[in-house]
Structure 1
Amino acid sequence: MSNEEILQAEQVGQTEEAADEVHNGVHNYSSEEEWVKPSDPLLLERLEWFKDQKLGIMMHWGPYSQLGVVESWALSDEDGDWSRDGIDWGVDSEELKRQYFGLNKTFNPVRLQPELWADLAAEGGFKYFILTTKHHDGFCMWDTATTDYKITGPDTPFHTHKYADICKNLFDAFRDKGLAIAAYFSKADWHTPTYWAPDMERGNDMWRGPSYDPKQHPELWEQFVQFTHEQMMELLSKYGRIDVLWLDAGWVRDGGRVPQDIRLGELVDRARQTQPWLLSADRTVGGPYENYVTPEQSIPHKPLSVPWESCITLGTSFSFRYEDKYKTLRQVVRILLEVVSKGGNLALNVGPQPDGRLPEGAIATIKELGAWMNVYGDSVYGTRICAPYYTSEFAFTQKEGIVYAFRLYEEDRMAVPSEITIPYMEQVSAIELIHTGEKLRFERTDDGLRVAMPLSEQAEQAPAAHVFRLLP
């Protein structure tokens, strides 16, 4: 096959893969039919543990945070039409890549305080922590031996700081607060010369896949596979207990027009020899190493019968954006309850600032969420789905025979009615308002359970939700 034919095949492949895997940086998610139930009893037990957690905090952080633009994607010429919207300093594609890859030389988050991050996450009610150890740009947030393009590299000014090994210090701090650890890792690496290799078929016109056909250059591809395995095994053997290996870049897979088999099964099986509890989330790939599926910036229309997690931003983007706007408590509670009532977990993403602090707007909402979860967490954590699941006004969960009904309010200044009809048709013996413990008067109607609201609740401003405990 000629170089031109190889390039054409790649372009066809990347077009098909783009439609399936990712659009404008937002990933699709696998269907329920693609999910493979693990046979290992321990992994089944860990999936039940995962479904109990409900709320994780996710952080996209790296040198790109200095620019306030989307993480990594501006490097891909094929994705430039949407990812370079915020890049307005008038440079061509090659100069843009040089400037981007040089951001490590100015990344110096000296105001990082891992314990404060962990304290906030615990206060916010989060149960696990997902950190971008490496995004597609290839910059490593741990002290890897595989490359100098890392937070502890000699060109990165932060390398002399006491918290220089960011993964280690953040993982340790969050574990100390009782949070589980998920290591986000991009299987693609646009910095390493064994993936985006110079002087190959593509020339300087890059896409999200390799710059060459792995079948035509198996020796180069094998170098990349070994490089990737070594990086992942560092994280899975030297950084304490890892509960989830959270893998991005679903186009790196054994399939499609440009197969990119990194022999993931070999790697995960090896890691499970020392961390047998390890869950693997090989996004959008399906099969035995995508233990749960991961909708992004979206929530499925109906409950899913498989374990799943929606990753949704607290602000408008995954990475830090200057003068970003953050969701209110009301918005976050509605998202959380829709996700949970449909059987999923919510991974709420916050993009840290380049100086090492978390944005004040994000902190404010997280603290409010924590106060809300402190009152209503029992109706969220450890629950499972319960018909009628979710409507525009109600969400339902159940645990240990008790059903929880959430009346959601869209507007801040919406008045609380004197009566609320809960669309639940099963028999109940009593209905309690969770935050007061008060038993409420109710009657059964053709539409459900008509509940008389106490006068004290009929305030001018509705809460984020009223939460009812329906006793059998």
Structure 2
Amino acid sequence: MKTLLSLNRLIIWTVLYGTLTGSTALFAQGGNLHEQSEVYVAPTDPLVQQKLKTWGDQKFGMLIHWGVYAVPGIIESWQLCSEPWLERPEGISYNDYKKWYWNLSSVFNPVNFDPDSWAEAAADAGMKYVVFTTKHHDGFNMFDTQQTDYKITNGPFKNHPKANVAKYVFEAFRNKDFMIGAYYSKPDWHNQDFWWDKYATPDRNVNYDIRKYPEKWKSYQDFTYNQISELMHDYGAIDILWLDGGWVRPRETVTDEVRAWGAPIPEFSQEVNIPRIAAMAREAQPGIIFADRTVHGPYENYQTPERKIPDTKLDHPWETCMTLGNNWGYVPNDNFKTSAEVIHSLVEVVAKGGNMLLGVGPQPDGLLPPDALPILAEIGDWLDQNAEAIYGTHAIDAYQDNNTWFTANDKETFAISLLEDGKDVPKSISWSGNLPKKGSTLRLVSTGQKLGYTLNGNTLSVQIPSEVRKSAKAALAFSFKN
């Protein structure tokens, strides 16, 4: 143990001070990105349909990756995986690295954990729903599961009054009227029924032939079922079950986007019996939305393109998940997007008919990164002023003209013109198409101020008053009937 703890300190030092550069550079390789599914199957359950509609009106949510990987500040669970796009520190064997990683649970002690401050920051940012990682691929559980001892309630944090982290995260966000999503990884690299120590662990897949050991795989299916059952029965109202690890799926559903991840595709199905899980979950949580990522079919109730926005408008439910920084979890000195960048992405996503889930990783002590908070607040300031043009809107066919994007509700159309960061706001803004009816009023959404405009053929030009130009940031939204 003394040697292992020394190794802990050595590698944490190495990561924190920058010699392990892979944590911020690996995403360019694309090895862990979930692409958008090519097929969508609409749910038939009226309760699911209604909840999907409610979720679709929320537009903006927070995705929270938090686990033992926050301690050294590395790329979530991924360095446990031996795939070509990944790098680990020099001078340490793979088995020793795994021992070091598993032992992070003995030093993960987030004594400043304050879920109410997380929920406050998310509400201030204008977010309406949350998805929290109850377990990532490394198998470390952020809830008090009874299926394994590898959990937050079995380490130095166990005597904290909020040791059952997921319970208190869900409560804090529920108190802010957020929809609640539970992220759950279908693969579990710590579980001997997924990664069996009898064999090497060359990639993200189960590392034994489940056709030869069906009872072992059945044990893993039961483990998964039982953990999700705990979440469904013991943690209050859950609106979304966000299932990650799309390579764990029926063999017949493997598609080109799965092959693009680069990991070998086993000759057998490594599926965890989602129909059985879904029946249990929907009995406990009627209408719960399933996001079984990239596994097209009845349990992918909305699609989840990762770190990208679809090229065109989509007419079925979808959600872009992207990071505020370069990483999902906490990495020291991460490079955060500006509020304008996030707002521009959100506007494009909403105009194309989707939601946006923004990833923010708490620090190992339990606080959100201080540098993230003013950015979130600036996003929220813009949304407070332009809420009508975002929440509860829907996409229209002519959703874009250059840097102006359009949304609509049952009464009005909104034009949202994106402004270049650091550039002066022009005296007039023009767009083509989506023009007000003759005699209609054009108003600034943020203040309700009526604005002058001219029509020349199919082009509208709106005059921007000087006081608006001085205070405008990120985007200007206009409202009119057409």
TM-score, length-scaled by structure 1: 0.90
Deviations 1:311-351 (A, max 9, x none): 11001100101011211111111011011110000101101
C-alpha deviations, 1:286-316, integer Å up to 9, x for none? 1000000001111000011110001110011
Matched residue, 2:464 = 453
Is contact 2:385–2:447 with CA below 8 Å preserved after alignment? no
Matched with 1:405 is 415
- Mapped partners of 1:457, 1:377: distance in 2: 18
Maintained 8 Å contact 2:428/2:462: yes
- SS for the counterpart of 1:117 is helix
Is 1:46 paired with 2:42? no
The letter for the 1-side match of 2:73 is G
Does structure 2 retain, via aligned residues, the 8 Å contact 1:131–1:183?
yes
CA deviation profile, 1:13-60 (whole Å, cap 9, x unmatched): xxxxxxxxx9322111212xx211111111111111111010001110
Q: Which residue of the other structure, out of 433, 436, 456, is the alignment partner of 1:424?
A: 433
Partner in structure 2 of residue 25 of structure 1: 32
CA distance in 2, matches of 1:205, 1:244: 31
In the alignment, is residue 95 of structure 1 matched against residue 96 of structure 2? yes
Q: How far apart are the structure 1 equivalents of 2:70 and 2:376?
A: 20
Contact 2:388–2:445 (CA under 8 A) maintained in structure 1: no
Task: Give the CA deviation at 1:447.
Answer: 4.3
The alignment yields a C-alpha RMSD, in angstroms, of 1.5
**Matched letter for residue 43 of structure 2:** P
Aligned to 2:10: none
Quick check: 1:384 aligned with 2:394? yes
Q: Give deviations 1:41-85, integer Å, cap 9, x for gaps.
A: 11111111111010001110000111111011111112xx3332x
1:241 aligns with 2:237: yes
Structure 2 partner of 1:105: 106
Mapped partners of 1:72, 1:170: distance in 2? 21
SS at match of 1:346: strand
Match of 1:158?
157
3-state SS, counterpart of residue 119 of structure 1 = helix
Question: 1:386/1:141 Cα in 2 relative to 1: closer, same or farther (>3 Å)?
Answer: same
Tell me the SS of whatever aligns to 2:61. Answer: strand
Q: Secondary structure at the match of 1:99?
A: helix
Query: In the TM superposition, what is the alpha-carbon distance from 1:462 to its structure 2 partner?
Result: 5.0
Q: Which residue of 1 aligns with 2:273?
A: 263
CA distance in 2, matches of 1:205, 1:130: 29
Q: 1:23 to 1:403 in 2, by over 3 A?
A: same
Out of 55-64 and 258-267, give the one that drifted further. Answer: 258-267
The Cα of 1:261 is off from its aligned counterpart by: 1.9
- Match of residue 355 from structure 1: 365
Q: Distance in 1 between matches of 2:469 and 2:179?
A: 40
CA contact (8 A) 2:290 2:301 kept: yes
Q: Distance in 2 between matches of 1:322 and 1:285?
A: 33
- Unmatched 5+ residue regions in structure 2? 1-28, 255-266
Amino acid at match of 1:220: K
Candidates 71, 81, 86, aligned match of 1:83: 86
Deviations 1:192-243 (A, max 9, x none): 00110121xxx32421111112122111100000000000100011000000
Letter in 2 for 1:418: K
Amino acid at match of 2:116: E
* C-alpha distance in structure 1 between counterparts of 2:188 and 2:73, whole Å: 21
Structure 1 consecutive aligned stretches of length 4 or more whose deviation exceeds 6 Å = none
Does the Cα contact within 8 Å between 1:197 and 1:211 map onto a contact in 2? yes
Matches of 1:392 and 1:250, distance apart in 2: 35
Take 1:284 and 1:124, find their aligned partners in 2: how far apart are those partners? 28
CA contact (8 A) 2:241 2:289 kept: yes
Match for residue 306 of structure 2 among 296, 303, 306: 296
**Whole-angstrom distance in 2 between the partners of 1:183 and 1:243:** 8
Question: How many angstroms does 1:265 deviate by?
Answer: 0.9
Specify the alignment match of 2:285 in structure 1: 275
TM-score (norm 2): 0.88
Aligned residues: 438
Aligned 8 A contact 1:415 1:462 in 2: no
Tell me the amino acid that sits aligned with residue 178 of structure 2.
Answer: L
- Is residue 2:72 matched to residue 1:67? yes
For the 8 Å contact 1:425–1:449, the answer to whether it is kept is: no
Kindly indicate whether the alpha-carbon contact (under 8 Å) linking 2:401 and 2:431 is maintained by their aligned counterparts in 1.
Answer: no
**Mapping for residues 261-340 of structure 1, pairs under 5 Å:** 261-340=271-350
Post-superposition Cα deviations, 1:423-446, rounded to whole Å, max 9, x if no partner, equal 224443121012222211212223
2:279 aligns to what SS in structure 1? helix
Alpha-carbon shift at residue 392 of structure 1 (Å): 4.3
Any idea what the Cα deviations from partners look like across 1:243-264, whole Å, max 9, x if unmatched? 0000001111111433112110
Within 5 A, what are the aligned runs for 1:109-258? 109-153=110-154, 156-199=155-198, 203-255=199-251, 256=254, 257-258=267-268
Indicate the SS of the match to 2:47. helix
- Counterparts of 1:46 and 1:205 in 2: how far apart (Å)? 39
> Is this contact kept in 1: 2:71–2:364, CA < 8 A?
yes
Give the secondary structure class of the aligned counterpart of 1:152: helix
User: What do the CA deviations read for 1:94-142 (whole angstroms, capped 9, x no partner)?
Assistant: 1111111111010000001111111111121111111010000000000
CA distance in 1, matches of 2:51, 2:156: 39
1:92, distance to aligned residue in structure 2 (A): 1.9
Partner in structure 2 of residue 394 of structure 1: 404
- Structure 1 unaligned spans of 5+: 1-21
Deviation at 1:391, TM superposition (A): 4.5
2:321 aligns to what SS in structure 1? strand
SS of corresponding position for 1:104? helix
How many Å separate the matches in 2 of 1:180 and 1:425?
A: 33
Cα distance in structure 2, aligned partners of 1:216 and 1:50: 42
